[in-house]
Amino acid sequence: MGFLTQCFRGSASTKRPSATVEELSYCFSLSQLQAATNNFDESRLIDETCFSKVYRGHISIDGQPMEIAAKLMHRYEIEQRSNFENEILFLCQLHHPNLVSLLGFCDDEFKDEMMVVYEFMPNGSLHHQLHKRDSNSPALSWKTRLEISIGVARALHYLHVGTKRTIVHCNVKPSIILLDDHWSPKLTDFGISLKGPKYSSKEKAKEVKRPIAGTLGYTDPAYLHSSMISSKCDVFSFGMLLVELICRENISKILLTFVDEFALQSIANPDERPDMGEVEVQLERALQLQQEADAHHSFRAFLI
């Protein structure tokens, strides 16, 4: 628990712990989260992977009722402990409108349970909206998809240049992008994220060697080949996400369309990729053009 104490309560030399961190962190007991999720009832299950289960719950924090998402992380792999600690350490230090808000954690060693608790996102994940939504629900509009892509780009831009050190998310994909009640995207899942060298606009993006991790299809081929990772790896993952968002097809199907050897070489070369700031600007310009077209169409309809 030492790493959590240091993260949430400050070191012994800190006279006044950060109020913001105190508000965002809360040490939940296992019994609290059991009560909040009806003892992790399967009817409360909202997402499941090989490594975790996420449950929807209702709880009171400092007298305020709140909907939460409690991610129960399996302990059967030693890496999961590292991912649990990594996710908390990142999220208690990072603050951005397009990053999910950390509400707290539970680390019950006696019951061998570890959980990360977030704010609940009523519109689920981007993956769900693209591939698993109810057939009666309307598909995401082009304007909404543009706005979602811009929000994700802003989050990644913040990670790459908005902190003292470059942070590489390492696992960007639709399932880890959550959507709030206004369809604003929130990036989550920092379990395998990596803190890189100090950022300098005068230096070329530096690479760090690390074991292969991530999700096939979204993971940079250059990284798979060399084990060297940089912020450009996130740019590749975002590019694949953007294609999936536009086509509304699973990435495995989209990959089958990349038959041109030159195209494959281009997307595999990190030096050919823009920075996330450049991507964000281009997407915002696309949204502006869409809004102008919508306004023009509405004006013509009014005249008719």
Distance of CA 286 to the CA centre of its chain: 23
Residue 268: per-residue pLDDT: 65
Residues 6+ positions from 30 with CB-CB distance below 8 Å:
106, 108, 111, 113
pLDDT at 10 over 50: no
Is 190 found in the same domain as 64? Answer: no
Q: What is the pLDDT, as a whole number, of residue 139? A: 85
Same domain? For 111 and 133 the reply is no
In this structure, the answer to whether residues 106 and 161 fall within a common structural domain is no
Cβ burial 260-279 (10 Å sphere, 16+ → b, else e): eeeeeeebbebeebebbeeb
Secondary element (H or E) of residue 124? none
CATH number of the domain within which 282 lies: 1.10.510.10
Residue 170 placed within a domain: yes
Mean pLDDT of all residues in 72-88: 78
pLDDT per residue over 28-58, tens digit each? 899 999 999 999 999 999 988 878 899 999 9
Q: Please give the torsion angle defined by the CA atoms of residues 43, 45, 49 and 50, in that order, rounded to the nearest 10 degrees.
A: -60
Last residue of a domain, one of 74, 93, 119: 119
Per DSSP, the three-state class of 102 is strand
Give the 3-state secondary structure of residue 39: coil
Residue 284 pLDDT exceeds 70: yes
Give domain status of residue 302, yes or no.
no
Do 97 and 183 lie in a common domain? no
Q: Is the pLDDT of residue 27 over 50?
A: yes
Query: Does residue 207 form part of some domain?
Result: yes
Predicted pLDDT at 11: 36
Spatial separation of the C-alpha atoms in residues 156 and 219, rounded to whole Å: 15
63 and 181 assigned to the same domain: no
User: Which of the four pLDDT bands, split at 50, 70 and 90, describes residue 207?
Assistant: confident
Instruction: Find the domain containing 226 and state its range.
Output: 126-290
CATH code for the domain of 73: 3.30.200.20
Q: Which of 56, 85, 119 finishes a domain?
A: 119
* Residue 296 within a domain: no
Are residues 58 and 159 located together in one domain of the fold?
no
Q: What percent of the chain has pLDDT over 90?
A: 44
- Domain-located, residue 301: no
Instruction: Identify whether the C-beta of residue 93 lies closer than 8 Å to the C-beta of residue 58.
Output: no
Q: Is the pLDDT of residue 97 over 80?
A: yes
Q: Is residue 303 part of a domain?
A: no
Same structural domain for residues 286 and 204?
A: yes
Same domain, 114 and 19: yes
Q: By CB neighbour count within 10 A (0-12 exposed, 13-18 middle, 19+ buried), where does 243 fall?
A: middle
User: Does the structure show a pLDDT above 70 at 21?
Assistant: no
Identify the pLDDT of residue 125: 94
For residues 178 and 3, which has the higher predicted lDDT (pLDDT)?
178
Q: Whole-angstrom Cα distance, residue 4 to residue 107?
A: 10
pLDDT, tens only, 110-160: 667 889 999 999 999 999 999 887 777 788 998 999 999 999 999 999 999
**pLDDT band for position 257 (50/70/90)?**
low
The predicted model scores a pTM of 0.83
The DSSP symbol for 275 reads P
Structural domain tally of the chain? 2
Q: Which helix (H) or strand (E) holds 54?
A: strand 52-61
What's the confidence (pLDDT) of residue 168? Answer: 94
For the residues 67-89, what does the mean pLDDT come to?
82
| CA atoms of 10 and 48, how far apart (whole Å) | 33
Looking at the structure, do residues 38 and 130 belong to the same domain, yes or no? Answer: no
Within a domain: 295 = no
Among residues 77, 94, 119, the one where a domain terminates is: 119
Amino acid at 217: G
Q: 133 and 108 in one domain?
A: no
Average pLDDT, the chain: 81
Would you list the DSSP string of 210-262? Answer: ----S-TTTS-HHHHHH-EE-HHHHHHHHHHHHHHHHHTS-HHHHHTT---HH
Statement to judge: residues 26 and 100 lie in one domain: yes
User: Which tokens go with 121?
Assistant: 């996102």
Residue 19 carries which side chain, given as an amino acid letter?
A: A
Please state, in angstroms and rounded to a whole number, the distance separating the CA atoms of residues 180 and 167: 24
- Examine the domain organization and report whether 82 and 203 are in the same domain: no
pLDDT for 123 equals: 94
Q: Is 254 part of a structural domain of the chain?
A: yes
